[in-house]
Chains A and B, each alone.
Chain A
Amino acid sequence: MGRKRIEPSNCTIDYLSILDEYGNLDTGLEPEIPPEMHLKMLRAMLLGRRFDERLLDLQRQGRIGTYPPTKGQEAAHIGSAILLKDSDWFVPSFREMAAEIMRGRTMESALLYFNGYNEGTIVPEGSKDLPMAVPVASQILHAVGLAWAAKYRQTGEVVMAFFGDGATSEGDFHEGLNCAAVYQAPVVFVCQNNQWAISVPLARQTHSETLAQKAIAYGMPGIQVDGNDILAVYAAAKEAVDRARDGGGPTLIECVTYRIMMHTTSDDPKKYRSEEEVECWRQRDPLIRYRKYLLQKNLITEQQLIALEEEIKQDIQAAVERAEKRMQELGNPLDQFDHLFAEMPPRLRKHKEALAKELAEAGREAHHG
């Protein structure tokens, strides 16, 4: 009888920042990262940034379709995904381009996808990456299913799922975290809180002080990190991945970052947010911060950076050329009927034959016309 206070055991969350926008470094928290891993992350971030810029240009030139830019969020998805082994699972939403490429998705694949070719959602043979998921938050449950399966098969694989702040309002987010915790599934949830879900700001998405604290209700650790600080993201993700691999269950990491660009190229953010706000976040650019850190640590030189930029530029150019050449070979509309089922049902075959006939007739007319 009566009223007493219950104090659940995990009712606090940490905020982690190691390298701030002014270059101040908390050396006590600075993670030990091997130099080659630093260089891998830098290359991935830089490639992600330049490729993202190129995709935006291509869209503006009408050479690809609608595109959701990633600019400014590279630290959040590179600093976390770098912790995955090739044998681990990577479950993206659609704003993790730099990490997707780092994990082995080719730039051609992305170019094909954003040009409307299914070939752009083929994940490479042997890859443990899922294709991008457009329906917000829906992929979170797939990650839990994968993690459940990995635990069942006792393989030691870890799954990392990505989503944005808007996704935390969807039921699948809550269901996914709940199930993952119930089954103690080896999964790391990485929320790229970029503050905006198209035009809706975080304050209209949730009344919670943080997104990370939502972990508390599900009985899992949650941590909020400066998502533009790759060292903080790395440190938090390392802890979470290690815990998952050791059988300690899931973690929610909230990476506080910012969507510098529009939601997609069809969106005009001037309608709903101020230029001052965007400018303020440009000053917190994760790439500039990281580059400065690496230079100060003598992990890279200015000359090497210039060479890296040049190498990346050429890689992107080559990928664009390859993709545009490939697109000329693709485009057979009859492909739309394939791979719906392992075996094509009779009615679908009829539809395929009907379109083939229509195309052949159109071809003959064009030929004779």
Chain B
Amino acid sequence: MAKMTMVEALNMALRQEMKRDDSVILLGQDIGPDGGVFRVTDRLFAEFGENRVVDTPLAEASIVGMSVGMAVYGLKPVCEIQFSGFIYQAFHQIENHAARMRWRTRGRLHVPMVMRAPYGAGVRALEHHSESREAYWAHTPGLKVVIPSGPRNARALLVSAIRDPDPVIFYEAKALYRSLREDVPEEEETLPIGRANIARAGDAVTIIAYGAMVRPALEAADLLAEKEKMAAEVIDLLTLSPLDEELLVASVKKTGRAVVVHEAPQSFGPGAEIVARLMEGAFYYLEAPIERVTGFDTIVPYFSREKSYLPGAERIAAAARRTFIK
């Protein structure tokens, strides 16, 4: 197994799926000879040519709108929105069409497409390049929202997303692109969409996170283990929608305590929905109010201040401790 960054693992997933199926078409801005601004499509243009790796005009609605047409035709477009902060120019194509073509036509037409976009803060980017607005998509009926947390699961989930018969929003944390390496097997590996993963087993408190927040959640679990001898369970959602509430509820029934972590703003964020599901499913098992550690309800600050905005291990560990204060 080769040690890979998330960028390399995603690149491998794309290359293998393109080899396997000539209906898989990549399209986006600068994804051709340039290989994408983050190099996720590196060398694919040379390998597959301009009809498989399609550089588009600088127009997000075109990328998504054309993909809808291509998917209806029977192709499997995998489009790249260069930064999720610019996906709003395609919002209507996602909401009005990608998400509802199957429903509108009672299954006659459907839109098997993947919309990849880098999201999140922590890489000292320019403004509009650091947001986490996955809640928009999780709020939209008809979409699946997948957010991997590392190279290996990113590769396996991207393969599953490409093979999925429905539109998938695939958010890739920029902070994870090159910051860690993992063993990623060359042979095919998939992960089911809609299933979370227990990243670390424990029985004292459940910490729920996804994407770039899984790492600080695990670090918080380390802190709790060191300082309080407390075994926190860390759940990595992997898919935000549909949410694997079964796993979450089972964990919280066991621990009686929960901390929900995301870098998206707090109000009406994914954490609110997760808390509501836990209240439905595990209310009588709760020993303390559920804590949320999230981005603040402000714009992600320019990068000189972004560190203060992002949830970190200390903040998460502190929230976990609060669940023990009676």
A145, CB-defined interface residue at 8 Å: yes
B62 within 8 Å of A (CB atoms)? yes
Residues of chain B within 8 A of A340, CB atoms compared:
102-103, 141-142
Q: Using A138-B92, A172-B65 as known contacts, say yes or no to A346 and B106 having CB atoms under 8 A apart.
A: no
Task: Find chain A residues with CB under 8 A from B71 CB.
Answer: 145
Contacts A135-B92, A142-B72; is A148 near B105 (CB within 8 Å)? Answer: no
Q: Which of B145-201 contact A (CB under 8 A)?
A: 165-166, 194
Cβ-defined contact, A149 with B62, below 8 A:
no
Partner of B96, one of A135, A148, A152: A135
* Residue A130 at the chain B interface, CB threshold 8 Å: yes
- Please tell me if A279 contacts chain B, counting CB pairs below 8 Å: no
Within 8 A of A (CB), among B19-38: 25
Number of interface residues of B (CB under 8 A): 46
Partner of B70, one of A146, A338, A342, A347: A146
A-B CB contact pairs (8 Å), 5 listed: A138-B97, A142-B97, A172-B93, A182-B57, A342-B166
The bracket for how many chain A residues form the interface is 35 or more
Q: Which of B211-219, B242-250, B315-323 contacts A (4 or more CB under 8 A)?
A: B242-250
Q: What is the minimal beta-carbon distance from A347 to any residue of chain B, in angstroms?
A: 6
- Residues from chain A with a CB closer than 8 A to the CB of B96 are 134-135, 138
Which residue of chain A has its CB nearest to the CB of B95?
Answer: A135
| A253 lies within 8 A of chain B by Cβ | no
Knowing A118-B103, A178-B62, A340-B141, say if A346 contacts B69 (CB, 8 Å).
no
Q: Which residue of B lies closest to A185 (CB)?
A: B66
Indicate if B56 sits at the interface (CB-CB under 8 A): yes
Selected from A121, A141, A172, A175, the residue in CB contact (under 8 A) with B104 is A121
In the complex, the answer to whether A149 meets B73 with C-beta atoms within 8 Å is yes
A119 with B69: CB separation less than 8 A: no
The reply to whether B106 and A347 contact each other, CB–CB distance below 8 Å, is: no
- Determine whether A143 belongs to the interface, using a CB cutoff of 8 Å to chain B: yes
Bound-complex Cα distance A121 to B246 (A): 35
A143-178 vs B, Cβ < 8 Å mask (1 yes, 0 no): 111111110110000000000000000011001101
Q: How far is the CB of A337 from chain B (nearest CB, A)?
A: 9
A32: interface (CB < 8 Å): no
- B-facing mask of A323-356, CB < 8 A → 1, else 0? 0000000000000001111100111100000000
Minimal beta-carbon separation of B79 from chain A (angstroms): 10
Tell yes or no: A131 within 8 A of B by CB.
yes
**Neighbouring A residues of B220 by C-beta, 8 Å:** none
Residues of B contacting A182 in the complex (Cβ-Cβ under 8 angstroms): 57
B61 at the interface (CB under 8 A from A): yes
* B292 at interface, CB cutoff 8 A: no
Starting from the known contacts A135-B96, A140-B65, A145-B69, 11 additional A-B residue pairs (CB-CB under 8 Å) come to A122-B108, A123-B105, A141-B61, A146-B72, A149-B74, A152-B25, A179-B66, A339-B105, A340-B142, A347-B243, A348-B242
Chain B residue with minimal CB distance to A91? B69
Residues of B within 8 A of A146 (CB): 69-70, 72-73
Contact in complex: A175, B61 (CB < 8 Å): yes
Residue B51 CB within 8 A of the other chain: yes
The reply to whether A179 and B62 contact each other, CB–CB distance below 8 Å, is yes
Give every chain A residue within 8 A of B65 (Cβ-Cβ): 138, 140-142, 144-145, 172, 175-176
CA distance A30 to B124 in the complex (A): 66
The yes or no answer to A36 lying at the interface (CB within 8 A) is no
Residues of A within 8 A of B141 (CB): 340
Closest CB in chain B relative to A351 CB, distance in Å: 10
With both beta carbons as reference points, the residue of chain A lying nearest to B243 in the complex is identified as: A347
B194 touches A143 (CB 8 A): no
Instruction: Say whether B69 contacts A141, CB under 8 Å.
Output: yes
The answer to whether B57 touches A175, judged by C-beta atoms less than 8 angstroms apart, is yes
Closest chain A residue, CB of each to CB of B66? A145
* A142–B71 alpha-carbon span in the complex (Å): 9
Contact with B along A249-264 (1 / 0, CB 8 A): 0000000000000000
A146 to B71, CA, bound (A): 8
Produce 1/0 per residue, A116-131, CB < 8 A to B. Answer: 0011011101000011
Closest chain B residue to A342 by CB distance?
A: B165
B109 neighbours in A (Cβ, 8 Å): 123, 130-131
B73 near A347 with CB under 8 A, answer no
Distance in angstroms between the alpha carbons of A331 and B151 in the assembled complex: 47
Q: Are A339 and B103 in contact (CB under 8 A)?
A: yes
Q: How far is the CB of B60 from chain A (nearest CB, A)?
A: 9
- The complex places the Cα of A169 from the Cα of B229 at a distance, in Å, of 64
In contact, A144 and B69 (Cβ under 8 angstroms): yes
Q: Which interface residue of B57, B77, B142 has the most chain A CB atoms within 10 A?
A: B57
A339 touches B92 (CB 8 A): no
Q: Is the CB of B166 within 8 A of A175?
A: no
* Residue of A with least CB distance to B73: A149
- Give the complex CA separation of A338 and B246 in angstroms: 22
- Please, how many angstroms separate the alpha-carbon atoms of A277 and B124 in the complex? 60
- Indicate if the CB atoms of A346 and B242 lie closer than 8 Å: yes
In contact, B62 and A176 (Cβ under 8 angstroms): yes
- Are the C-beta atoms of A347 and B142 separated by less than 8 Å? no
**Whole-angstrom distance from the CB of A97 to the nearest CB of chain B?**
18
* Nearest chain A residue, comparing its CB with the CB of B246: A346
List, in ascending order, chain A residues with CB within 8 A of B92's CB. Answer: 135, 138
Q: Complex Cα distance A178/B59, Å?
A: 10
Pair A145/B61 contact, Cβ less than 8 Å? no
Instruction: Determine whether the beta carbon of A341 is less than 8 Å from that of B51.
Output: no
Interface centre among B70, B71, B93, B110 (most CB of A within 10 A): B70
Find the A residue at minimum CB distance from B109. A123
B25 and A122 within 8 A (CB): no
Provide the bound-state CA to CA distance between A119 and B105, in Å.
Answer: 7
List of A residues within 8 angstroms of B64 by Cβ: 141
Cβ contact of B56, chosen from A131, A152, A179, cutoff 8 A = A179
Q: Which one of B67, B89, B242 lies within 8 Å of A145 (CB-CB)? A: B67
Q: Which residues of A291-350 have CB atoms within 8 Å of chain B's CB atoms?
A: 338-342, 345-348
Contact A118 B69, beta carbon cutoff 8 Å = no
A141-B61, A179-B66, A346-B242 are known contacts. Are A131 and B73 too (CB-CB below 8 A)? no
Are A179 and B51 in contact, CB atoms less than 8 angstroms apart?
no
Query: Is B108's CB under 8 angstroms from A123's CB?
Result: yes
> Known interface pairs A138-B92, A138-B93. Does A152 touch B104 (Cβ–Cβ under 8 Å)?
no
Which chain B residue lies CB-closest to A121? B104
Instruction: Tell me which residues across on chain A come within 8 A of B142, comparing CB atoms.
Output: 340-341
Q: How far is the CA of A244 from the CA of B296 in the complex (A)?
A: 53
A93 to B135 Cα, complex, angstroms: 30
